[in-house]
């Protein structure tokens, strides 16, 4: 959006303010939300679009109400200065109705109060509660207008406001921490750094309604750190009971000197009646004041306007400031006030960062006016209203004289009420409290003091209150807005507690008889003779035998053994990690410590047939044994080694297509002796190709009837 957009009082668009310039937006946490700009008086922007109680919208989509117009002449130049406030401040235009006024209420949720404001505006304003806030005891809520009611909520619940036009967001803390930096030589043009210890407090005294404190309470109400710091002060804690009404900062020793051991401060909260609430307020106040306040004012270059990816500062953001020359070394602070110039690159944002809420003169004057109004109630035209005091004093004297028939004013002080028929029955009021005696004040049977009420018996039809405590420390039973608790000072740590919704938490419950309509067991044990559900569908006997017709288990089942039955669809393994054996529907396998399969029996292995497969330490396939239709196959992808003292082949052994190497003659039983015999027989034989002549005599082949013939020399080969 390049220009401000203008709207009339009914939020009907009237056009863009193209002639507006010097547009500045100033915001401060829980305070200012202002927009100002200049516009020529002779422009259509001023003459037609800028109307009192009209509206303008900025580039963030936020709407502002035009509340004032200042006209300035500089020679012939006529300029109008326009001041606008965020539409959230229209809450001042709505009177909070008397019918919604709350005189006193306990444990109120923040949404109850915001709903009353929303209803008072006819639903024009709505609220978004973006964080969880504790319940709060509310008193005197709803005087004035709706903005005053919202300020009361902010003060009570400690929230911060982030308006989105007519939707008001309430958070514990607005802004983000995105490591935004204000750093010299990067984006700081000029900066100032101030630290101030004038409001430093290291010992904080606390009081609540009617001047009451936590004196007399057990020291267990304090944290370990708070108790340790107080124990170092003689007499602060005696026999586990608090004797002082102050808290000490853990930084007290850092700031202490020989002349000033503590920097004292005090809070008096008339709206608080509970010690626990006073403690919380005291802790919060001490945390805010136990370190010096500091403030950084930075005039920085808006790098996000010229370079994408640079963070854009926003109200409430956490930023880190670094300018060592002025002793500003990576200081962490929040942007409490931000003045921006969103429609120009020539001007850059000015941020005020601090560790406390920034106050300006408007805030200070508002506090002074509040004090002035209190004083004005005592004066009329500069004079004390003596006629009022005289009338009251006259009535007091009359009442005292009327009371003397039963009241005595002892010389040692106080007021003594003596029963007419029995003077020994007395009621005495002193500065220490109210006492009741039946023996002429020799002993006190009942008393009301600043430390509480002491009585042998309290009789009544109803007892109204906020808290009832029986016991000391963690050996205590309590009844308060949380519910009923016993066994611990903190409700959420008590072993027995019942909240207002009827939810019971107990370490042990013994009941002779009980009917439980609905229940969930989160732990512990169920002890009894047996469990029977569904007339025997699920049962557990006294000996621990469980019987169920069916079941589904999610998680682990531990048992020493499983007998009988069928396990279907399960993943079975001998260990969760390390060396183990696993089985599922895909295979039965052995897995090593490196989570690699080493042996697998699968219905569909490497070749798509059933078999046993083997893998090396890197998970590579090395071989397998497969059974298919025409026989059993032993496969290896590189090398196969058969090693045994004896290897027997039964049946026909085929070496077709095989090459046999590395086999010696001695490796085959009987082969060597057989070959030796053959060689021995062949040694007397002629070599291949040998030839010689043989001369034979005439002979009759051994038959005398034959003639001797056939002799001669013959060639043989």
Interval 58-68: pLDDT, tens: 999 999 999 99
- DSSP result, 160-187: EEEEETTEEEEESS-S--S-EEEETTTT
State how far the Cα of 455 lies from the Cα of 447, in Å rounded to an integer: 7
DSSP letter assigned to residue 209: G
pLDDT for the residue 394: 65
Does residue 515 contact residue 523 with C-beta atoms inside 8 Å? no
With bands split at pLDDT 50, 70 and 90, how would you rate the model's confidence at 682? confident
Q: Which residues contact 140 (CB under 8 A, 6 or more apart)?
A: 102, 103, 104, 271
pLDDT for the residue 524: 61
Long-range contacts of 477-481 (CB under 8 A, 24+ apart): 481/106, 481/107, 481/135
3-state SS track over 95-137: ECCHHHCEEEEEEECHHHHHHHHHHHCCCCCEEEECCCCCCEE
Q: What is the mean pLDDT of residues 529-534?
A: 74
pLDDT for the residue 36: 94
State how far the Cα of 269 lies from the Cα of 490, in Å rounded to an integer: 23
Task: Tell me: pLDDT of 175 over 70.
Answer: yes
Residue 355, burial from CB neighbour count under 10 angstroms (0-12, 13-18, 19+): middle
Does residue 187 contact residue 321 with C-beta atoms inside 8 Å? no
Task: Tell me: pLDDT of 370 over 50.
Answer: no
Task: Tell me: pLDDT of 544 over 60.
Answer: yes
Q: What are phi and psi of 181, to 5 degrees?
A: -125, 140
Residue with tokens 């963070």: 311
Does residue 440 contact residue 410 with C-beta atoms inside 8 Å? no
Task: Tell me: pLDDT of 369 over 70.
Answer: no
Token couple for 545: 């035998």
State how far the Cα of 68 lies from the Cα of 36, in Å rounded to an integer: 10
Token couple for 519: 């229940």
pLDDT for the residue 230: 93
Residue with tokens 């029986």: 470
Does residue 152 contact residue 170 with C-beta atoms inside 8 Å? no
The pLDDT mean for the chain works out to: 83
**Could you give the percent of the chain with pLDDT greater than 70?**
90
Does residue 439 contact residue 426 with C-beta atoms inside 8 Å? no
Q: What is the mean pLDDT of residues 87-110?
A: 92
With bands split at pLDDT 50, 70 and 90, how would you rate the model's confidence at 462? low
The alpha carbon of 631 is separated from its chain's Cα centroid by a whole number of angstroms, namely 67
Best-predicted range by mean pLDDT (474-478, 560-564, 689-693): 474-478
State how far the Cα of 532 lies from the Cα of 536, in Å rounded to an integer: 6
Does the CA dihedral 31-37-41-43 come out positive or negative? negative
With bands split at pLDDT 50, 70 and 90, how would you rate the model's confidence at 516? confident
Token couple for 383: 């004079």
State how far the Cα of 415 lies from the Cα of 404, in Å rounded to an integer: 10
Strand partners, 102: 141
Does the CA dihedral 573-579-581-583 come out positive or negative? positive
**Could you give the percent of the chain with pLDDT greater than 90?**
31
State how far the Cα of 710 lies from the Cα of 51, in Å rounded to an integer: 161
Task: Tell me: pLDDT of 29 over 80.
Answer: yes
pLDDT for the residue 372: 42
pLDDT for the residue 398: 64
Q: What is the mean pLDDT of residues 438-453?
A: 84
Token couple for 645: 């003292």
Q: What is the mean pLDDT of residues 50-74?
A: 92
More confident residue, 300 or 239: 239
> Residue 40: in which H helix or E strand, if any?
strand 33-40
Task: Tell me: pLDDT of 238 over 80.
Answer: yes
More confident residue, 201 or 568: 201
State how far the Cα of 313 lies from the Cα of 316, in Å rounded to an integer: 9
pLDDT for the residue 400: 64
Q: Which residues contact 67 (CB under 8 A, 6 or more apart)?
A: 52, 53, 83, 84, 85
Best-predicted range by mean pLDDT (302-306, 591-595, 690-694): 591-595
Does residue 213 contact residue 206 with C-beta atoms inside 8 Å? yes
Token couple for 591: 């897995």
Least confident of 37-41, 127-131, 549-553: 549-553
Does the CA dihedral 112-116-117-123 come out positive or negative? positive
Smallest CA-to-CA distance from 591 within 611, 607, 575, 606 is with 575
Q: What is the mean pLDDT of residues 367-377?
A: 42
> Residue 19: in which H helix or E strand, if any?
none
State how far the Cα of 29 lies from the Cα of 154, in Å rounded to an integer: 11
C-alpha separations of 498 from 477, 478, 492, 502 in Å: 12, 10, 10, 6
pLDDT for the residue 368: 40
More confident residue, 407 or 504: 504
State how far the Cα of 175 lies from the Cα of 391, in Å rounded to an integer: 57
pLDDT for the residue 42: 92
State how far the Cα of 692 lies from the Cα of 683, in Å rounded to an integer: 18
Strand partners, 469: 478
Per-residue pLDDT tens digits for 307-361: 777 888 889 899 888 888 887 888 888 888 999 998 988 888 888 888 765 444 3
C-alpha separations of 597 from 311, 579, 608, 639 in Å: 52, 10, 18, 20
User: Collapsing DSSP states into helix, strand and coil, what is residue 59?
Assistant: coil
With bands split at pLDDT 50, 70 and 90, how would you rate the model's confidence at 391? low
DSSP letter assigned to residue 694: E
> How many Cβ atoms sit within 10 Å of the Cβ of residue 532?
13
State how far the Cα of 498 lies from the Cα of 481, in Å rounded to an integer: 11
With bands split at pLDDT 50, 70 and 90, how would you rate the model's confidence at 12? very high
User: Collapsing DSSP states into helix, strand and coil, what is residue 239?
Assistant: coil
C-alpha separations of 465 from 451, 479, 667 in Å: 16, 9, 107
State how far the Cα of 438 lies from the Cα of 461, in Å rounded to an integer: 24
Token couple for 654: 């085929």
Q: What are phi and psi of 343, to 5 degrees?
A: -110, 15
Q: Looking at domain 4-90, does it have CATH number 2.40.30?
A: yes
Does residue 447 contact residue 456 with C-beta atoms inside 8 Å? no
More confident residue, 160 or 698: 160
pLDDT for the residue 358: 45
Least confident of 295-309, 381-395, 592-606: 381-395
State how far the Cα of 519 lies from the Cα of 526, in Å rounded to an integer: 13
Per-residue pLDDT tens digits for 78-97: 999 999 999 999 999 999 99
Least confident of 32-41, 329-338, 554-563: 554-563
Q: What is the mean pLDDT of residues 112-117?
A: 95
Does the CA dihedral 142-148-149-155 come out positive or negative? negative
Best-predicted range by mean pLDDT (536-545, 622-631, 697-706, 707-716): 622-631
State how far the Cα of 250 lies from the Cα of 268, in Å rounded to an integer: 22
pLDDT for the residue 322: 85
Q: What angle do CA 380, 386, 390 make, to 5 degrees?
A: 150
With bands split at pLDDT 50, 70 and 90, how would you rate the model's confidence at 380? very low
C-alpha separations of 90 from 4, 60, 145, 650, 652 in Å: 20, 19, 10, 106, 107
Does residue 70 contact residue 64 with C-beta atoms inside 8 Å? no
Task: Tell me: pLDDT of 290 over 50.
Answer: yes
Task: Tell me: pLDDT of 384 over 50.
Answer: no
Does residue 188 contact residue 326 with C-beta atoms inside 8 Å? no
pLDDT for the residue 53: 92
State how far the Cα of 222 lies from the Cα of 230, in Å rounded to an integer: 10
More confident residue, 477 or 570: 477
Does residue 131 contact residue 170 with C-beta atoms inside 8 Å? yes
Q: What is the mean pLDDT of residues 673-691?
A: 78
Smallest CA-to-CA distance from 56 within 73, 72, 36, 42 is with 36
pLDDT for the residue 357: 54
Q: What is the mean pLDDT of residues 540-558?
A: 78
Least confident of 49-53, 352-356, 382-386, 397-401: 382-386
Upper half-sphere CA count for residue 489 (Cβ side, 13 Å): 12
């Amino acid at each position: 959006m390049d220009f401000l957009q203008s709207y009339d009082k009914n939020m009907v668009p009237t056009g863009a303010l193209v002639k507006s310039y010097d547009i500045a937006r100033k915001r401060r946490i829980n305070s200012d939300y202002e927009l100002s700009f200049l516009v020529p008086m002779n422009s259509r922007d001023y003459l037609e679009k800028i109307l009192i109680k009209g509206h303008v919208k900025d580039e963030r989509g936020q709407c502002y109400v035009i509340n004032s117009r200042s006209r300035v002449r500089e020679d012939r130049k006529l300029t109008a200065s326009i001041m606008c406030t965020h539409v959230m401040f229209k809450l001042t235009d709505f009177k909070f109705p008397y019918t919604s006024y709350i005189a006193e209420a306990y444990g109120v949720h923040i949404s109850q109060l915001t709903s009353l404001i929303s209803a008072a505006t006819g639903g024009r304003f709505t609220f978004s509660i973006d964080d969880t806030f504790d319940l709060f005891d509310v008193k005197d809520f709803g005087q004035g207008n709706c903005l005053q009611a919202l300020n009361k909520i902010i003060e009570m619940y400690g929230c911060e406001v982030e308006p989105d036009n007519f939707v008001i967001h309430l958070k514990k803390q607005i802004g983000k921490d995105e490591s935004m930096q204000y750093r010299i030589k990067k984006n700081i043009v000029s900066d100032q750094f101030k630290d101030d210890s004038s409001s430093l407090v290291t010992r904080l005294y606390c009081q609540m309604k009617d001047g009451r404190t936590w004196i007399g309470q057990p020291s267990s109400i304090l944290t370990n750190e708070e108790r340790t710091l107080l124990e170092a002060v003689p007499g602060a804690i005696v026999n586990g009971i608090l004797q002082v009404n102050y808290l000490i900062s853990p930084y007290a020793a850092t700031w202490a000197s020989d002349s000033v051991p503590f920097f004292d401060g005090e809070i008096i909260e008339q709206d608080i009646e509970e010690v626990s609430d006073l403690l919380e307020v005291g802790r919060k106040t001490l945390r805010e004041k136990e370190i010096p306040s500091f403030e950084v004012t930075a005039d920085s270059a808006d790098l996000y306007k010229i370079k994408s990816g640079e963070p854009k500062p926003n109200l409430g953001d956490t930023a880190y400031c670094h300018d060592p020359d002025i002793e500003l070394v990576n200081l962490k602070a929040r942007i409490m006030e931000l003045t921006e110039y969103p429609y120009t690159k020539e001007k850059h944002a000015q941020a005020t960062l601090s560790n406390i809420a920034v106050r300006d003169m408007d805030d200070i004057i508002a506090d002074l006016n509040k004090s002035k109004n209190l004083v004005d109630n005592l004066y009329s035209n500069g004079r004390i209203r003596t006629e009022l005091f005289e009338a009251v004093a006259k009535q007091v004297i009359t009442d005292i004289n009327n009371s003397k028939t039963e009241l005595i004013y002892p010389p040692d002080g106080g007021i003594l009420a003596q029963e007419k028929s029995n003077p020994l029955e007395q009621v005495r009021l002193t500065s220490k409290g109210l006492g009741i005696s039946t023996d002429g004040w020799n002993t006190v049977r009942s008393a009301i003091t600043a430390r509480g009420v002491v009585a042998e018996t309290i009789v009544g039809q109803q007892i109204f209150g906020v808290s009832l405590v029986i016991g000391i420390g963690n050996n205590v039973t309590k009844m308060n807005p949380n519910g009923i608790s016993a066994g611990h000072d903190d409700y959420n740590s008590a072993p027995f507690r019942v909240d207002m919704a009827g939810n019971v938490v107990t370490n042990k419950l013994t009941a002779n008889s009980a009917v439980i309509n609905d229940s969930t067991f989160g732990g512990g044990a169920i002890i009894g003779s047996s469990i029977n559900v569904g007339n025997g569908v699920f049962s557990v006997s006294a000996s621990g035998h469980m019987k169920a017709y069916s079941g589904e288990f999610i998680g682990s089942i531990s048992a020493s053994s499983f007998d009988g039955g069928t396990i279907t669809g399960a993943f079975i393994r001998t260990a969760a990690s390390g060396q183990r054996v696993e089985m599922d529907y895909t295979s039965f396998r052995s897995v090593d410590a490196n989570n690699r399969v080493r042996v697998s029996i699968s219905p569909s292995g490497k070749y798509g047939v059933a078999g046993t497969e083997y893998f090396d330490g890197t998970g590579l396939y090395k071989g397998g044994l497969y059974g298919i239709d025409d026989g059993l196959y032993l496969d290896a992808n590189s090398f196969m080694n058969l090693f045994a003292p004896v290897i027997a082949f039964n049946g026909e052994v085929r070496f077709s297509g095989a090459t046999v190497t590395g086999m010696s003659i001695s490796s085959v039983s009987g082969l060597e002796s057989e070959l030796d015999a053959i060689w021995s027989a062949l040694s007397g034989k002629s070599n291949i190709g040998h030839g010689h002549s043989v001369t034979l005599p005439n002979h009759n082949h051994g038959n005398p009837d034959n003639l001797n013939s056939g002799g001669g020399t013959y060639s043989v080969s």
